Amino acid sequence: MSERLITKDTYDRLSQDLERMKTEERMEIAERIRQAKEFGDLSENAEYKEALDAQATLEQRILDMDVILREAKIIKPSRSKTKIEVGVSFEVRDMGTKKKLTFTLVGFGDANPMQGKISTDSPLGAAFLEKTVDDEVEVKLPERVLTYKVLKIL
């Protein structure tokens, strides 16, 4: 896995989430397992099996978050007016539809496509990183290629 660009605020938020998973959520699941064992025969105990599944899911989430935070590169949002970097808003034209679109490039964990916030981890966000006004950007998706022209950096 490659490094993920991430803001300090997002890093702190994800670190808190990880700590909560390691403490509170682990304790809650351990309690569910303990209670389920009291029902007797574990081979026919649906509550016990569900609690074990929840435990496995939580442990995988913890491992994944550990990797993300270990490989994260903490960055400061940019105020650049010349190139697209994390924190920069910009306007593009979709060369297929001719529509103007506005995006803000964000780091890992901050994406919200409905608000125009695209992550550097996405194909779209990665394609725009470091681009400047008048650059044409091709985004290769499994089913098609999208082409955009950078109109301005806001």
Q: Is the pLDDT of residue 1 over 70?
A: no
Which pLDDT does position 2 carry in this prediction? 67
Which pLDDT does position 111 carry in this prediction? 95
pTM: 0.76
Q: For residue range 54-106, list pLDDT tens digits in order.
A: 999 999 999 999 999 999 999 988 888 999 999 999 999 999 999 999 999 99
CA quadruple 90, 95, 98, 99: dihedral sign? negative
**Is the model more confident about 13 or about 2?**
13
Q: What is the CATH number of domain 4-75?
A: 1.10.287.180
Name the percent of the chain lying above pLDDT 70. 99
CATH fold of 89-153:
Chitinase A; domain 3 (3.10.50)
Fold match flag (4-75 vs 89-153): no
Which pLDDT does position 39 carry in this prediction? 80
Work out the number of other CB atoms within 10 angstroms of the CB of residue 31. 11
User: Domain boundaries in the chain?
Assistant: 4-75, 89-153
CB-neighbour burial class of residue 32 (10 A; exposed 0-12, middle 13-18, buried 19+): middle
**Token duo for residue 136:** 């044409």
Which pLDDT does position 79 carry in this prediction? 85
Q: For residue range 124-145, list pLDDT tens digits in order.
A: 999 999 999 999 999 998 999 9
